Structures are given as structure tokens and as C-alpha cells.
Amino acid sequence: MELIEARPEGLYCPPGDFHIDPWRPVARAVVTHAHGDHARPGSAHYLATREGEHVLRARLPDATIDTIAYGERVVHGGVTVSLHPAGHVLGSAQVRVEYRGEVWVVSGDYKLQHDPTCTAFEPLRAHAFVTESTFGLPIYRWRDPSVVAAEIAQWWRANADAGRTSLLFCYAFGKAQRIAALLANLGAEAIGPLACHGAMIALNDAYRAAGVVLPAIVHASALDPDLASRALVLAPPSAAGTPWLRRFGDFATAFASGWMQVRAARRRRGVDRGFVLSDHVDWPGLGAAIDASAASRVLVTHGDASVVVRWLRERGLAADTLATEFADEGEPEA
């Protein structure tokens, strides 16, 4: 019997009788973070982090949710469960499961890079480590996020000086707030107003309610028309190429995502610029997290799982894929 196994409804812990990030309604769901493909409605009871409570309640308004602090332990059916920072988005957690001396850690989505809007990834030791592999190829190697933020600011300034609104597409939950915070840390608001698409307002509010410091971000429709051409507007990728854009006169577009590392992907998006900023772990980070876990078994979920599994096996680790229904194309929309 495995301590955590893949069931039709999702990852399941048999002795504890609970699921982790189930994709179908279950009795007990431990949720790593509030992204749509990990926190799905319909389950009878949810367990999540206190840090992520506001965003999770915003996503699942009718759910029964219990929250615990990072590191706090809960025992159920002889299984000790605790949630630890994953560094992915606000409130994101790795799930540590211990039963009769055996420890498994389910990473959820995570990154090792610095992010001013959420608690940093905490390396955990485990016998078995279940990890995501969204960017599981050596070509995905991130740079210092402050450097990327400086490039975004430079692009913003050049557009503002040319009288063009800067339209930056990014995922509404996590990425948008992280970019706003990074830009504020650089003092970039001196360039012009920061605005966002309506889809992001509730999430910005949830971040602030949780105590994250964000700069002022106005609703795009509330932008002062005289200042609009100097604004940076954050919008979800689904807004690209839609009539929503018509309200901006002359504008330049960009997309902030780890997928922008590759030129062909930038061209497919049809934006003027791509900024390589991701909330998922890169190849070097994946290796570091696996090393830090000292796990003798690694199970790999969504992404380039087969590549990572083969790489680990060639290094002498017992590795396998774990079939899940998490978004395989990378980050979900919101």
C-alpha cells in the first residue's frame, strides 16, 4: 500500500482517508493552493492554509473550509498532516504526510525564486517526494526576478514616453499581484498609473486582506483618460485580441510567463514582448528541491513528467510518473 496513490478522483491517502487537490468532489480535500485546477468545488470539506484562506474563499464561496497555519500538525486516522510553504502563490502549500515513520511530501505547484507576495518555499525531507514538472526541461532556467521586473519597467517607460498604453498579460491569480509588488519595489509607479482588468480586482483585494502590501491598482475602466497612455494595465491572457482592448488607443502588448523563454512561444502569442517570469520551479530548482528532500523515491506529476522521470532514473533514483488531471499546458488561467 502506498501512502499516497492516484485514484480516479485525485491523489489519495488511504490510511488518512483524504484526497489532495482532488479533481472530482470527495469527502475530505486537502488543497495546496486556490488555482482552479487544484481547488475544485463540490467536496464536502476542505483543509487549506490560513495564509491562503481569503483567496480560497473567494474561489469557493460555498465551501466548508478549515485552515491551519504553516507547520501546524493535524492527525487523522493515525496520519499526521501538515502544510508547508511552497512559494507558488499566496497561501500555497506542500502537503507533508507522515504515517508510521514514513514521510511523503506532495509539492503542489511551487517555485524556489523570491516572491514578495507569498511565503518562500521550505525544503522538506521525505522518503517519497511528489513533484510537479511544468517546466521540466533544461532550457527553462529563470533569471533574478528583480532583473525581469526592471525589464518590464523599462518597457513600460519607453511606451509611456511614446504615448502608448502598456498592456501586460499575465495570470490573474499570483502572477499579477507578484508583478505589481515587484514593480512597486522598483519605484516604477513613478512612470504612470497601474491598472488592471476587472477579473483581477477581487484577487487584489483578497491579497490585501491577507496582509500583502500591494501598490494602488485601479480598475482599467476607471483610468483617467489623460493618464491612460502612460498606464501599465495588467490583464488575463483571455483578454488578448478581444474588443476589451479597443478602449486603449495606441498600446503595446506583452506576456509574462515562463513559456516566453522560447522565441517560438513568444511569436505564437502574438505579443510585442515576452517577459520570462514564472511561478513554477525551473529545471535547476527542480533538481535542488529533489536533492533537498533526500527522497529515495520521486513521483512526478503534470508537465514534462516523462523527461524528468528518465533523467532521475539515469541518476539512480526510483522515479515514476503519477497520472493527474492538473493543467498540463502550464499555469491555469486564474
Going by DSSP bridges, is the β-strand pair 165-169/251-256 parallel, antiparallel, or unpaired? parallel
CB of 329 to another protein, least distance (A): 13
- Beta carbon of residue 169, minimum distance to another protein (angstroms, whole number): 16
Nearer to another protein, 16 or 303 (CB): 303
| Closer residue to another protein, CB minimum distance, 173 or 283 | 283
Closest distance of CB 195 from another protein, Å:
22
For residues 71 and 270, which CB has a smaller minimum distance to another protein in the complex?
270
Q: Annotate 41-73 with b (16+ C-beta within 10 A) or e (fewer).
A: eebeebbbbebbbbbbbebbeebebebbebeee
CB 130 within 8 A of CB 105: yes
Q: Using CA atoms, how far apart are residues 310 and 313, in angstroms rounded to an integer?
A: 5
Q: Which three cell numbers stand for residue 118?
A: 507569498
Sheet containing 232-235: order of strands:
218-219, 194-196, 232-235, 165-169, 251-256, 273-275
Report how far residue 235's alpha carbon sits from residue 220's, in angstroms, rounded to the nearest whole number: 9
Cα–Cα distance for residue pair 266/150, rounded to 1 Å: 19
Nearest distance from C-beta of residue 306 to another protein, angstroms: 9
CA distance 228 to 139: 37
Quote the CA–CA distance of 79 and 98 in Å, as a whole number.
Answer: 6
* Residue (46 or 155) nearer to another protein, CB: 155
Identity of the residue, 144 or 224, whose beta carbon is nearer to another protein in the bound complex: 144
CA distances from 104 to 10, 82, 100, 126 (A): 16, 11, 11, 5
Would you say 50 or 141 has its CB closer to another protein? 141
Which residues are CB-contacts of 249 (< 8 A; sequence separation ≥ 6)?
165, 228, 229
List the one residue out of 246, 242, 207, 185 whose CA is nearest residue 54: 207
Residues 6+ apart with CB under 8 A from 115: 87, 145, 178, 279
Cβ-based nearer residue to another protein, 314 or 329: 314
- Report in angstroms how near the CB of residue 295 gets to another protein at its nearest: 21
Give the nearest distance from C-beta 321 to another protein in angstroms. Answer: 15
We find the least distance from the C-beta atom of residue 265 to another protein, in angstroms, to be 9
Contact set with another protein (CB under 8 A): 137-139, 141, 252, 261-264, 266-267, 272-273, 304, 307, 310-311, 314
Rounded to 5 degrees, what angle do the CA atoms 16, 20, 24 make? 110
Q: Find the shortest distance in angstroms from Cβ 131 to another protein.
A: 18
CB nearer to another protein: pick between 3 and 252? 252
Strands lying side by side in the sheet with 65-68:
5-7, 10-13, 18-20, 28-30, 45-49, 65-68
Residue 308 Cβ, how far from another protein at the closest point, in Å? 10
Q: Which is nearer to another protein, 78 or 241 (CB)?
A: 241
